[in-house]
Amino acid sequence: MQLSKRVQQVAPSVTLTITAMARALKDGGKDVVGLGAGEPDFNTPQHIIEAAIQAMNAGHTKYTPASGIASLKEAIIRKFHRDNRLQYTANQVMVTVGAKHALYNLFQALLDPGDEVIIPTPYWVSYVEQVKLAGGVPVLLEGKEEDGFKISTSDLAAAVTERTKAFLINSPSNPTGAVYTKEELTDLGRVCIDQNVTIISDEIYEHLIYSGQPHISMASLGEEYYNQTVIINGVSKTYSMTGWRIGYVAGNADLIQAMSNISSHSTSNPASIAQYAAIAALEGPQEPVATMRTAFAQRRDFLVAALQQLPGISASTPAGAFYVYANIAESMKAKSIKTSAEWAQKLLEEELVAVVPGSAFGTDEHVRLSYATSMEQLEKAVERIKRFVDIQ
C-alpha cells in the first residue's frame, strides 16, 4: 500500500520509542530505570479521581461539544485570570485531547503549504513533525548552550522572512528547562508584533519553575502581545494527568472556531469524564502541585550534582520543567560513539537506563534525563551511568 508523501516525511516520536523499548525490557524481567518519559511519577490527586467517578455516576458519559463543555471552559477562563492576569471569553477557549492535540489543530488551522514556523532548538520532538504534517516548513533557530539554550532577539529578527507565519516558544522548555525572563519575552514578542508573526506560546510547564522567578505568559505583556499570541496549555504535567488527555488553547476567536471545526471532524470531543476531572484539577486544592514541585526540585538538585561528577558529562541546573539536558560530547568521544542515539541505546542495553538522545530535540551532543521519578530510581540510574561512562 502506497503511503502519502506527507506521512512518509514524519518521524516517529523518539521519546515514545525509548519508553516502549524500556517497557519491553521490563516486561522481560529486566530491572530498567526509565528516565525517558515526560510524565510525573505521582498519581493523579485523589480529589480529581473522585470528580471523575462522580461524573460517571451522574451520567456524564456522552458526547460533548467539540470545543469542550461550558463549565470546563469557564474554569479555564478563571485559571487564566487567576494565574496569568488574562481575560478570555468562552469563544476564545477550546478544550483538546491533550496539549499535543491543541498544537496539531493549531498548525492545521494556521498553516498553508510553504508557510514557515520558527522553532528554537533544542525543541520538543513533536513541534517539527506537526508543522510538516500541516504542509509548513520548520525553521530551526539555535539556542546556544552557553546562552542557557535561549535564542536572541537579533537571531529571531534575522530568521523572519516573508513566508514566516508563526514563532513557537516553550517556556519553561522541554527538553532544557530554560525559562525566559519578562524582558526576554518582551523583546522576542516585539519582533513578532512588528513583523505580523503569530506567537505560539506553549506554557504546559508553567507551574514547574524552581528558580524563584515567576512564570510570565507572553499574552500578558500588553494588548498587542495578547492579540498576537495563542496560548497552549493543559493539565497533564501540573496535575499528573498525562493519561487523561486534556489540553486547552486560548487566542483569537476566529482561529479557535477553525480549530474546533477540525475537531468536529476528527476527535469529535475530548473525553467527557476527563473534562469533569480537569475542572476539579483547576478549581480544587492546589497543594498537590506544590508538593510535587518541591519533590522535583530536590530530585533536580541531586541529579545535576551527581552528573557533574561523572567523566565526560556536563549539566547545568534547569530553571523549570523536570528534565536535565546533559552534554555527553566528551563521553561520546571517549567511547568512540558517533551519535547521541547510539550512546543512549548502549546505555539502555548495557546498564538498563533509558534516556532520550538529543538528536530527537535537534542537537546530537546531549541526552535528556527526566527526574520525574523517585529518588531511589535516580540514585540507581546515576550509579549505572557512572559505570557506563567510566573508561577502563
DSSP assignment of 257-269: HHHHHHHHTTT-S
pLDDT at 13 over 90: no
**Which amino acid is it at 86?**
L
Query: Tens digit of pLDDT for each residue in 130-188?
Result: 999 999 999 999 999 999 999 999 999 999 999 999 999 999 999 999 999 999 999 99
Residue ranges matching CATH 3.90.1150.10 in the chain: 5-44+287-389
The average pLDDT across 270-295 equals 98
The answer to whether domain 61-283 has CATH 3.40.1190.20 is: no
Taking the CA atoms of the chain, what radius of gyration do you get in angstroms? 21
State the CATH architecture for 5-44+287-389. Alpha-Beta Complex (3.90)
Q: How confident is the model at residue 22 (pLDDT cuts 50, 70, 90)?
A: confident
Residue ranges matching CATH 3.40.640.10 in the chain: 61-283
Q: How far apart are CA 139 and CA 177, in angstroms?
A: 21
Side-by-side strand order, sheet with 356-357? 323-327, 366-370, 356-357
Q: Which of 202, 180, 175, 199 is nearest to 189 (CA)?
A: 199
> For the chain, how far is it from start to end, CA to CA, in angstroms?
50
Can you give the pLDDT at residue 23?
85
What is the length of the chain?
392
**Which amino acid is it at 351?**
E
pLDDT at 12 over 90: no
What's the whole-number average pLDDT of the chain? 96
Point out which residues pair with 117 in neighbouring strands. Answer: 138, 166
Can you give the pLDDT at residue 182?
97
CB atoms within 10 A of CB 130: 23
CB of 201 within 8 A of CB of 229?
yes
Q: What is the DSSP string of 152-163?
A: PHHHHHHH--TT
